[in-house]
Chain A
Amino acid sequence: MSDTAALVQLTAAEMAEKIRNKEVTSRELVEAHLAVIEAAEPQLQAFLKVSAQEALAQADEFDALSDEDKAKLPELAGVPIAIKDMIVTEGIETTAASRILEGWVPPYDATVIERLKAAHMPILGKTNLDEFAMGSSTEHSAYQNTMNPWNTECVPGGSGGGSAAAVAGFEAPLALGTDTGGSIRQPGAFTGTVGVKPTYGAVSRYGAIAMASSLDQIGPATRSVLDSALLYEVIGGHDKRDSTSIPEPVRPAAEAAREGAKRDLKGMKVGLIKEIGGEGFQQDVLDRFNECVKLLEDMGAEVVEVSCPHIGYALSAYYIVMPSEASSNLARYDGMRYGLRVMPPVDVPQTAANMMSYTREAGFGDEVKRRIILGTYALSAGYYDAWYGSAQKVRTLIIDDFNKAFDQVDVLICPTAPTTAFKFGDKIEDPMAMYVNDIATIPANLAGLPAMSIPAGLSGDGMPVGFQFLAPQKRDEVMYKPAAALEAALEEQWGGPVWKSMNTPWLEGLNK
């Protein structure tokens, strides 16, 4: 193992500590990760764009700061990060993995990017995703497949497969994702990493390319619970440019994570969601889940079964709300102001309307078109009440279910996904099979709850399994404590982080 390999395998919090202790500079961290990216990309293809020059410049800027100035910055200052290509970055091409935005260089930064820059966290590049974050395998990217670092024949999950694979494969210690129906958490589960969807409105969406506005939320992808907590505290908090941003300060997530590491959960009530699990869930996913439940109990938590009776309708409601909002959010890609323009064939009138239709036909992939058509239908006159209206009512029922559950317990738990990572092509031809993969992650989006997936161990064939915590709205810190406790307990059992079981040939040849 080279120094570079050892360095990139640290957690972000450990890297930050080394920076503070002057054992490493930000530039050295960036260079180490750029070296891993160069070595790993041929196998992983997690990045759509590597912004090496920008990252090095940002690192140098941080390194040049006085100790006094550095001390005022967030804990993660100087640690590099990768960004899902669904978040706009000024001067760095942003495509949402769609042909329709190919070559688009945004003239502005998302709020989260501004906050990362203010924290002096260098941006390594933009990660791959399902086109416009629509998918659960990253196979719907218009540009490339991203491979699961645990087994390159398997998908990394989606839509944020690029961010998850980059973090799992040590190409980046941290990444940002967007989670509309599980796009941070499910890839986290598939790649043995931590993925967090904060409370809806806890992190500004300004500059996150919209898929379904009432469901989308930006969140961290990391290799430890504490790293997610620290990153959430950098990007979270009120933003006046997002009307749905909660006008309150960030919750004390890092403190809760550090508290959790003590592995004392006495007095904590944990609710096991009865309706998620069982049929359709892979047996070893359930086995790992049950083992984790036992560990929580061993640390003093009281685990009870709770019922969310309307959760069975969540998938249906989601597949109405999401495409409806997406159909409207994606209308702007019309060939007029940015991105692709395709003129109609010569035998078709060369009008603006036809230009738009041919641009959108050529620029969008199958899944995007499918959802736009479905959403257009769900909103159209005559069907609105039966579809969109009904789905919004289901949201109310699900929120009520969760409110009742949180009257009884502090946090809720369930598996993150019904299966471990599947092979490329397994589900791509069957939309419904792909959609069902999000059954355990969607309820948190519909209800606006914070939720997180952490590694729960491996399946029989050696693929990671995810374990999910859900907390009440606006109380994100509540889930960090048991998550950090479970992580610590599991790592003790395994003798280290879950990735110790992963083969990383791309780290072998690194020299420094």
Chain B
Amino acid sequence: MAEKLMKYAEATDKYDVVFGLETHVELSTNTKLFCPAHIEFGGEPNTQLTPVSLGLPGSLPVVNETAVDYAIKLGLALHCQINEWSQFARKNYFYPDMPRDYQISQYDKPTNGEGYLDVELEDGTVFRVPIERAHIEDDAGKNTHVGGADGRIEGADHSLVDYNRAGVPLIEIVTKPITGAGDRAPEIAGAYMRAIRDIVRALGISRAKMEQGNMRADVNVSLRPSADAPLGTRSETKNVNTFRGIEKTLRYEIRRQAAILDEGGEILQETRHWDEATQTTAGGRVKSDADDYRYFPDPDLVMLHITQSHIDEIAAQMPEMPRERRNRLKDEWNFSDIEMRDVINADALDLIEETVKAGATAAGAKKWWLGELSREANNQGVTLEELSITPADVAEVEKLIADGKLNDKLAKQTVNFVLAGEGTPAEVVEKRGLKVVSDDGALEAIVMEAMEANPDVVEKLKSGNMKPMGALIGAVMRATKGSADAKSVTKIVMSKIK
């Protein structure tokens, strides 16, 4: 049942868009937020538990120092008010993946209060996103639905619960309602999420891999007739876990809500879900009394005291923030604004930096990561990082080209073999015998053969028409399976027709 949608341009023209994001970032601490169970992605089910994270009777939470320090780091990066006293509160609701049937979170006394983040859009515009809070809480376990179609919750017969993830520390960054974005709301949301991702990575506080669930966001959207009208009823689309999904959710919700409002309808205050398959949001549960979470200060924990001197200590160790770093690298690499933007959009900044560190030129590194390798990643449907080629490999290929040991074509073949898992570039070159045929005697013979087979081409060349040179080079390349150096071929041909 397709929902009615208004054209996007019309929707943003007619209505003022207000949106907000609640971003969950999983911290990469060694142990859980409230107990010393080691955290590891993808371990055997129910092997990363203590009595605390399994919620056994009698067990008690004790706060992980590193998780608090990570929260302070993020608070500083987001220009948050870091509260001297903060408090953990219980959020009470029943769910099979919650070992205590309450989540330990923060309520009216979060560690990080108000702040902001400046995000840079594609055209260089800087938009300030106001932050309401960034609080600490623990994650739930994981349900695997069994017996239904394709592992979905609907129609499943029963679920298997692995509590390994239960108790993993999260920071939830909550924006204030973001206004004034207009039709650029989706772009701003995407840029904000990428900025958060870059920041938490730079801080080293999260692996920030969306595909592993290290980051996910709830997207709140409401529309109102004009910027001075009161806020409209909002929808909340839960757990969107790709950047594109977040942008598309916003776009879709704006169009859907506009269509309803246009017909005089009412927006339901409800939670929705982004469906990647249909590229729509689906209605979930209407907000009701069931959302009475009965927050109260967790009596098993006491007030968290963060001194200014501790904050200063952490502030002194803060790494360079991503925006500053980007500007510095842009200068160092001598890239234009547009080139740098392409690099950012391709998510290739870290990779290029590492490639340069491994010895390649910035231009050379960019050519590979944004060209051939981006295409390959796209074909495989993976991120650049997930390709089975490292920045060191790319730098090695560049060096082989610079040394004249590979030409462009061979370099591409080498890279393809590396991607196919055949080894490092040097190994591939060795194993496959890929090297530029630079033995002039051998090459000369092949060129002569080609010239003899194409007398008409030779005639034209002799008459000063250089256009068909390519045909000759092509023939040589075919004969040498691409290992000839085009420049050498040209040189030999020229010497023969003189």
Of the four ranges (under 10, 10 to 19, 20 to 34, 35 or more), the interface on chain B belongs to: 20 to 34
Q: Tell whether, in the assembled complex, residue B102 and residue A328 are in contact, meaning their CB atoms are under 8 Å apart.
A: yes
The docked-state distance in angstroms from the alpha carbon of A241 to that of B34 is 10
8 Å CB interface, A87-137 against B: 87-88, 94, 96, 101, 104, 106-108, 110
Q: What's the nearest-Cβ distance from chain B to residue A212, in Å?
A: 8
Of B52-60, B70-78, B194-202, B468-476, the stretch lying at the interface with chain A is B52-60
| Total A-B Cβ pairs within 8 A | 101
Chain B residues, CB < 8 A from A376? 294
Point out the residues of chain A lying under 8 angstroms from B96, CB to CB: 334, 336, 352
Chain B minimum-CB-distance residue to A324? B296
List of B residues within 8 angstroms of A336 by Cβ: 96, 161
Q: Write out the residue numbers on chain B whose beta carbons fall within 8 Å of the beta carbon of A94.
A: 57
| Given known A210-B300, A213-B299, A332-B99, contact A241–B55 (CB-CB < 8 A) | no
Known: A244-B302, A384-B296. A209 touches B58 (CB 8 A): yes
Q: Within 8 Å of chain A (Cβ to Cβ): is B90?
A: yes
Q: Please, how many angstroms separate the alpha-carbon atoms of A209 and B296 in the complex?
A: 20
**A106 CA / B54 CA spacing, docked (Å):** 12
- Whether the Cβ atoms of A243 and B60 lie closer than 8 Å is yes
The chain A residue sitting closest to B54, CB to CB, is A337
CA gap between A233 and B116 in the complex, in Å: 52
Cβ of B299 and Cβ of A331 under 8 Å apart? Answer: no
Interface: A403 (CB within 8 A): no
Please tell me which one of the listed residues A106, A244, A384 contacts residue B58 in the complex, with CB atoms under 8 A apart: A106
The answer to whether the Cβ of B63 comes within 8 Å of any Cβ in the partner chain is: yes
Size band of the interface chain A makes with B? 35 or more
| Nearest-CB residue, chain B, relative to A331 | B101
CB of B159 closer than 8 Å to a CB of A: yes
Residue on A nearest B90 in the bound complex, by CB: A328
Contact of A206 with B99 at beta-carbon distance under 8 Å, contacts A107-B51, A328-B90, A337-B55 already known: no
| A-facing residues in B46-92 (Cβ within 8 Å) | 51, 54-63, 90, 92
List CB contacts (< 8 Å) of A347-384 with chain B.
352-353, 356, 376, 379-381, 384
The answer to whether B292 and A380 have CB atoms under 8 Å apart is yes
Residue of B60, B63, B100 touching A242 (CB-CB under 8 A): B60
What chain B residues lie within 8 Å of A381 (beta carbons)?
292, 294
State whether A101 touches B300 (Cβ < 8 A). Answer: no
User: B residues within 8 A CB of A212?
Assistant: 299
CA distance A504 to B412 in the complex (A): 96
The answer on a CB contact under 8 Å between B92 and A209 is no
Please give the distance in Å from A174's CB to the nearest CB on chain B. Answer: 20
Contacts of A327 in B (CB 8 A): 92, 294
Q: A213-B299, A328-B102, A353-B94 are in contact. Are A379 and B294 (CB under 8 A)?
A: yes
Task: Please name all residues of chain A whose beta carbon is closer than 8 Å to the beta carbon of B102 when the two chains form the complex.
Answer: 328, 331
Q: A243-B60, A243-B61, A388-B296 are in contact. Are A332 and B55 (CB under 8 A)?
A: yes
Contacts of B159 in A (CB 8 A): 352
Q: Using Cβ atoms and an 8 Å threshold, which residues of chain A touch B59?
A: 108, 206-207
Point out the residues of chain A lying under 8 angstroms from B466, CB to CB. none
Which residues on A sit within 8 Å (CB–CB) of B56? 88, 106-108, 337-338
Chain A residues touching B, majority SS: loop
Chain B residues closer than 8 Å to A210, beta-carbon distance = 57-58, 300
Q: Are B60 and A214 closer than 8 Å at their CB atoms? A: no
Q: Which partner residue on chain A sits nearest B51 by CB separation?
A: A108
B58 x A88 contact (CB < 8 A): yes
Closest to A207 in B: B58
Kindly state whether residue A205 has any CB partner on chain B within 8 Å.
Answer: yes
Query: Nearest chain A CB to B60's CB is how many angstroms away?
Result: 5
B62: chain A residues within 8 A (beta carbon) = 240-243
Interface presence of A268 (CB below 8 A) = no
Q: Cβ of A328 and Cβ of B301 under 8 Å apart?
A: no
Please state if A332 and B92 are interface contacts (CB–CB under 8 Å). Answer: no
B 77-123 contacts with A by CB, 8 A: 90, 92, 94, 96, 99-102
Give Cα distance in the complex from A309 to B299, angstroms: 26
The 5 closest A-B pairs by CB, nearest first: A331-B101, A379-B294, A213-B299, A214-B299, A207-B58
Query: Known pairs A213-B298, A332-B57, A336-B161. 15 more at Cβ < 8 A?
Result: A88-B56, A88-B57, A205-B58, A206-B58, A206-B60, A210-B57, A210-B58, A214-B299, A240-B62, A243-B62, A352-B96, A352-B159, A379-B295, A381-B294, A384-B295
Q: What are 15 inter-chain pairs, A to B, with CB distance below 8 A?
A: A107-B56, A108-B56, A205-B60, A208-B58, A209-B57, A209-B58, A240-B62, A243-B61, A243-B300, A328-B102, A332-B100, A336-B96, A338-B56, A381-B294, A388-B296
